[in-house]
A and B are shown apart, each in its own frame.
Chain A
């Protein structure tokens, strides 16, 4: 039975950074991922990573932009930590070998990004996430004697000991279907967001929020699950992402009449207002008939010099050419707001610790909360790295103080039984798992998106509950052990349904408009009643709601204009 001081679940940026940080403290580390680490979705972060590292910039300015971007729902102590530690993290990555863009002097150069008062986004062309993640994976290979990698291992659930401490996890080796209990003094969840609950989404097929679902099942509270970011520039049909970097480089948003409509919504920052603001502006244009027939507006990148496009936006050239048949250097491309990011997640403190001893969470799976109601572009990579590292360090420190918890093989047996039951379901009764999954995605995108109201959210919640009832009879085809993706898809759907329920409950509950939550029936922000987090804890009757205060250090809520 594998046994580690620190077991990291998920191997994107947060997970790899956590594993490296823990290993540096000299404890035994294992890192598991349901896909090969370099397939993780951190790859898709194109635009860059924020840090106040240039002369004339300050962490306070970065922090204020983040607080304002969050619509004052972000916890300011956590935001301060993130912004203060950002410059050192960038330098650390640079020293490890990340090929950050340089200015003419050969020093780190920046680009502009949305919601930021300074150009403080560091980048590698438009493959920043990929470039950083591959460099971290280089380090994992370098330190393979200190960090055991379990690649293509699917975590089916967390294991608690008798005292309610996290003591490990149950894993299924995807390649042969064998199940094992992994003992660990600490588990760090770093398994990403849950965009696949919405269709379409910019998120990869693996983004099913397994970690959020697992933590919720063992009693860890989730926070601000209603805060779901719709990115302003995604391809209409497939939902693929066009980086905010395009607007950072100067691209314009145009409606069908060719108007630069952001003039009416954010006259100062224009296209570089916060994402929630830009997405709402676009959706308003589309809803009021000023969009194109296919429900889109357009992004005009042709105003960016061609040389600069090739150097800085090459991935977007490829996305345009391969997936939309558009040469972005010559013509505008049709885009619309699309599901992109989970601001909410497993509630943690500034060290990544959840309420369950020994259970940590970092990155998109977690809600510290540094993003509050709306995440700023290029703050997600930063979040994964800062809180990944902090989780790794703290879990390692805790590992030195505690013994392994007592685990029982019964958990493993239960998991095996559950999978056997799933595989053995009757094909003649229920519907396919894939059909349920699609229905969930369509429902959520229709009712819990850019604009929401009570009736719509309630409809979504009813449908989600109906799907939950149907789930135990939903069937799959593959009954084998080797690379059975079918059964993993079914387990993922179970996690997704519970998270969707939480999102609907949170969205119904929050009767105000803040950040990504825009209620047409409550269009104003209401600080008096709602300057607080919504915490959801699992109970027999679904999520139980409680509240926790927003931490305010130095920035009192103000009106938010761009």
Chain B
């Protein structure tokens, strides 16, 4: 049987010592999991090593950990794959499998974290129970079958915390409600039986640590072992809050997002010179329409902008001069618009309960072509909009 080395970040609170690394060798079938490796250590070598675990089959959500830096479930990570991954990341082609407790949470002992004060408190923050309007019907609520399949993706969440562990926004803002709790919120917002949809959306949009605190980094989508894709649920919340309920939040999150999409629709890439202005005072019909808090917001954003320039995140100052931003070559801009039109005419969600795994799409469900159809308005006939003029 092959031998693997697990390098475990340990912490024994009663020892008076800080955290330390310890390596264990285990003999294991390659198709067993990292959790099986940890359990072998516990059973044969060192019973003081602790990790929460129960089902071993990615159902109970106990064994959230970081393996080679990636948040996930120890039971769902094959030890042979973890080894390949560790080797790939190392400089000399071979390295132990690194196992650490989850991030963004205090560590209790070894791989056990305090999920109560982080994960569960945030779950409770989103009023996580159904609030139906009026008395229930005599029989079941009659609802569209798709709606139940739709929220089943959120219901598939096993509360393992892997998404919370991987969340970059939460690292910057520990008060961010976070991917798991927001995915849970969608489970009610998307539920036709819930009577508080509007209130929920308003609450989550107005909270400075709410839906607009997500930076769209995809970490949670990668980390989630159940295909819940928490970020997708957050984006659905945003769409429902912004498009369906027309909620303009005090954080300016919605307008900032609209500014992004609008600029790219027009220019193909992000013209940063327009971003701030467009976020606070969109230039529809040639007139700047400032939001109520525009001046305050713009001034408040200055330190961030300065920091961006100073740290080199904003690479050249010339980018901030309006009109310098390059146009896309040839008719590329036309293709960008086609993508927008396609997306807008297909408000489809990637829900694994409907489409299956991504690879299944190859031969299974026919993909709609992205090519423009004959009856689409040609790009040339579109009047250039005033804000584009101003851009020049």
List the interface of chain A (C-beta within 8 A of B).
35-36, 38-41, 43-44, 91, 94-97, 99-109, 124-125, 127, 130-131, 134-135, 138-139, 141-142, 151, 175, 204-206, 237-238, 240-241, 306-307, 309-311, 314-315, 317-319, 321-323, 325, 329, 432-435, 438, 476-478, 480-486, 489
Given contacts A306-B356, A322-B78, A483-B110, 18 further A-B contacts (CB under 8 A): A35-B52, A35-B60, A36-B62, A41-B55, A102-B143, A127-B152, A141-B128, A142-B129, A241-B57, A322-B76, A329-B356, A477-B46, A480-B48, A482-B108, A482-B109, A485-B47, A485-B50, A486-B47
Query: What residues on A are CB-neighbors of B158 within 8 Å?
Result: 38, 43, 130
Using CB atoms, name the residue of chain B closest to A490.
B47
Complex Cα distance, B66 from A147, in Å, reads 34
Complex Cα distance, B57 from A322, in Å, reads 9
Known A39-B62, A130-B158, A482-B108; judge A205-B54 contact (CB<8 A): yes
Complex Cα distance, B15 from A481, in Å, reads 11
**Closest CB pairs A-B (n = 10):** A477-B47, A97-B130, A434-B43, A310-B356, A102-B145, A95-B136, A486-B47, A138-B129, A204-B54, A106-B142
B47 and A434 contacting across the interface, CB-CB below 8 Å: yes
Q: How many whole Å from B135's CB to the nearest CB in chain A?
A: 9
Query: What residues on A are CB-neighbors of B62 within 8 Å?
Result: 35-36, 39
Interface residue stretch chosen among B199-207, B249-257, B302-310, B347-355: B347-355
Q: How many whole Å from B54's CB to the nearest CB in chain A?
A: 4
Known A134-B155, A141-B124, A477-B47; judge A99-B191 contact (CB<8 A): yes
Known A97-B129, A107-B142, A125-B353; judge A43-B14 contact (CB<8 A): no
Using CB atoms, name the residue of chain B closest to A109.
B145
Query: What residues on B are CB-neighbors of A485 within 8 Å?
Result: 42, 47, 50
Q: How many whole Å from B325's CB to the nearest CB in chain A?
A: 43
A106 and B352 contacting across the interface, CB-CB below 8 Å: no
List the interface of chain B (C-beta within 8 A of A).
12-14, 29, 31-32, 42-44, 46-48, 50, 52-62, 76, 78, 108-110, 112, 115-116, 123-124, 128-130, 132, 136, 139-145, 148-149, 151-152, 155-159, 188, 191, 193-194, 226-227, 352-357, 360, 364
Query: What residues on A are CB-neighbors of B130 within 8 Å?
Result: 96-97, 135, 138
Q: How many whole Å from B61's CB to the nearest CB in chain A?
A: 7
Contact partner, B159, options A38, A106, A307, A477, Cβ 8 Å: A38
B140 and A108 contacting across the interface, CB-CB below 8 Å: yes
Q: How many whole Å from A99's CB to the nearest CB in chain B?
A: 5
Complex Cα distance, B54 from A486, in Å, reads 14
Complex Cα distance, B156 from A35, in Å, reads 20
Most buried by B among A104, A318, A321: A318
Using CB atoms, name the residue of chain A closest to B123.
A141
Complex Cα distance, B98 from A147, in Å, reads 40
B61 and A482 contacting across the interface, CB-CB below 8 Å: no
A310 and B155 contacting across the interface, CB-CB below 8 Å: no
A482 and B155 contacting across the interface, CB-CB below 8 Å: no
Known A43-B60, A204-B60; judge A99-B108 contact (CB<8 A): no
B14 and A482 contacting across the interface, CB-CB below 8 Å: yes
Query: What residues on B are CB-neighbors of A323 within 8 Å?
Result: 57
Instruction: Give the number of residue pairs across the A-B interface with Cβ within 8 Å.
Output: 192
Using CB atoms, name the residue of chain B closest to A319.
B57
Using CB atoms, name the residue of chain B closest to A140.
B129
Query: What residues on A are CB-neighbors of B140 within 8 Å?
Result: 91, 94-95, 100, 107-108
Using CB atoms, name the residue of chain A closest to B154.
A99
Q: How many whole Å from A340's CB to the nearest CB in chain B?
A: 13
Query: What residues on A are CB-neighbors of B56 within 8 Å?
Result: 204-205, 238, 240
Q: How many whole Å from B106's CB to the nearest CB in chain A?
A: 12
Complex Cα distance, B132 from A142, in Å, reads 14
Q: Is the interface of B mostly helix, strand, loop or mixed?
A: loop
Using CB atoms, name the residue of chain B closest to A323.
B57
Query: What residues on B are CB-neighbors of A107 within 8 Å?
Result: 139-140, 142
Using CB atoms, name the residue of chain B closest to A309.
B356
Complex Cα distance, B28 from A41, in Å, reads 26
Most buried by B among A40, A106, A307, A325: A106
Known A91-B139, A97-B130, A477-B46; judge A318-B148 contact (CB<8 A): no
Query: What residues on A are CB-neighbors of B48 within 8 Å?
Result: 477-478, 480, 486
B152 and A99 contacting across the interface, CB-CB below 8 Å: yes
Contact partner, A125, options B76, B152, B357, Cβ 8 Å: B152
Complex Cα distance, B10 from A480, in Å, reads 15
Complex Cα distance, B158 from A105, in Å, reads 29
B132 and A95 contacting across the interface, CB-CB below 8 Å: yes
Query: What residues on A are CB-neighbors of B141 within 8 Å?
Result: 94-95
A240 and B57 contacting across the interface, CB-CB below 8 Å: yes
Complex Cα distance, B43 from A321, in Å, reads 27
Using CB atoms, name the residue of chain B closest to A477.
B47
Query: What residues on A are CB-neighbors of B152 within 8 Å?
Result: 99, 124-125, 127, 131
Q: How many whole Å from B31's CB to the nearest CB in chain A?
A: 7
Complex Cα distance, B60 from A434, in Å, reads 22
Using CB atoms, name the residue of chain A closest to B145.
A102
Complex Cα distance, B109 from A485, in Å, reads 11
A311 and B353 contacting across the interface, CB-CB below 8 Å: yes
B145 and A104 contacting across the interface, CB-CB below 8 Å: yes
Query: What residues on B are CB-neighbors of A476 within 8 Å?
Result: 47
Complex Cα distance, B42 from A476, in Å, reads 10
A478 and B47 contacting across the interface, CB-CB below 8 Å: yes
A310 and B136 contacting across the interface, CB-CB below 8 Å: no
Contact partner, B354, options A141, A310, A321, A477, Cβ 8 Å: A310
Using CB atoms, name the residue of chain B closest to A437.
B43
B13 and A482 contacting across the interface, CB-CB below 8 Å: yes
A480 and B159 contacting across the interface, CB-CB below 8 Å: no
Q: How many whole Å from A242's CB to the nearest CB in chain B?
A: 11
Contact partner, A483, options B50, B78, B360, Cβ 8 Å: B50
Complex Cα distance, B108 from A307, in Å, reads 44
Query: What residues on B are CB-neighbors of A124 within 8 Å?
Result: 148, 152, 155
Complex Cα distance, B157 from A124, in Å, reads 13
Complex Cα distance, B193 from A94, in Å, reads 10
Query: What residues on B are CB-neighbors of A102 within 8 Å?
Result: 143-145, 148
- What are 27 contact pairs spanning A and B, CB under 8 A? A35-B52, A38-B60, A41-B55, A95-B141, A97-B129, A97-B194, A99-B148, A99-B152, A99-B191, A100-B140, A102-B143, A103-B145, A104-B145, A127-B156, A141-B124, A205-B53, A237-B31, A240-B56, A241-B57, A306-B364, A314-B227, A432-B43, A480-B14, A482-B14, A483-B112, A485-B47, A489-B47
